[in-house]
A = this chain, B = another copy of it.
Amino acid sequence: MSIPSHKSSAKKTRSVHAPQRSNGKLRVAAILEAAAAVIAEKGYEAATMAEIAARSGTQIGSLYRFFPNKQSLGDTIIVSARENLEVVFDNFDAGVKALSIRALADNLPALLLEQVFTKPALLKLLDASEDWSVKREEFRIAVVRRIAKTLTIYRSNLPKKSAEHIALVVLANTKAMVTHQKLPDFALRTLEEFRDMTRLYLQSRLGSSMSVKKDISS
């Protein structure tokens, strides 16, 4: 019959479930993971709080204790990606000076691809509706600034504005890679094209005329 029978005997069956950890950290993590999964699948608007609660094994009421509304879930996903960004780049900066331009061109997108844009939900969120423009912008600016900072470490004489423009382009190329990676007819060569283009671009922007030639011919 179409009447779910999970109502009358709710209290009895509750104890069957996994004991609810009241450990906030774990619970929040589980919720965020579920939210990311659902948003990745259906997009932010179509993701429902009920499904996120269910997938994370949380009751809807508890979900709202940790996240006062739907928007805050999205916010948190974006913010935590931003925090992660700092850690990841700080680490990368340590060895960046030793890299050839070519290696930089290869490793910078790889870093973003593998350590920052891990969750497809992040991209969905960043392309979501207008209400998000603020958070989205903040995130975009943060990423651009952080890439720019790394570039300035790499070339200490690089003007700040230039660094940011270059960073913007690197970010765009990385996003293109992420997007195409998920497409049905995705071919490895697609990634290579973007990688090569990034090499060419960074060599023209960061290289002396000599180093450019060397790098290309190698």
Binding site for B on A (CB under 8 A): 1-4, 7-8, 23-25, 28, 41-43, 45-46, 66-72, 75-76, 79-80, 124, 127-131, 137, 140, 161, 165-166, 168-169, 172-173, 175-176, 179-180, 183-184, 187, 189-190, 193-194, 196-197, 200-201, 204
Contact = CB atoms under 8 A, between A and B. Distances in A.
B42 A130 contact: yes
A134 to B, nearest CB: 10
B41 A43 contact: no
A19 to B, nearest CB: 17
Nearest to A9: B24
Each complex incorporates copies of this chain amounting to 4
The binding surface of chain A is classed by DSSP as helix
A69 B5 CA distance: 12
B46 A46 contact: no
A104 B5 CA distance: 39
B169 A46 contact: no
B46 A130 contact: yes
B43 A46 contact: no
Contacts of A187: 165
B184 A137 contact: yes
The list of the 3 closest CB pairs from A to B, nearest first, reads A43-B129, A7-B24, A45-B45
Contact of A8 (B1, B24, B41): B24
Contact of A43 (B45, B66, B161): B45
A179 B131 CA distance: 17
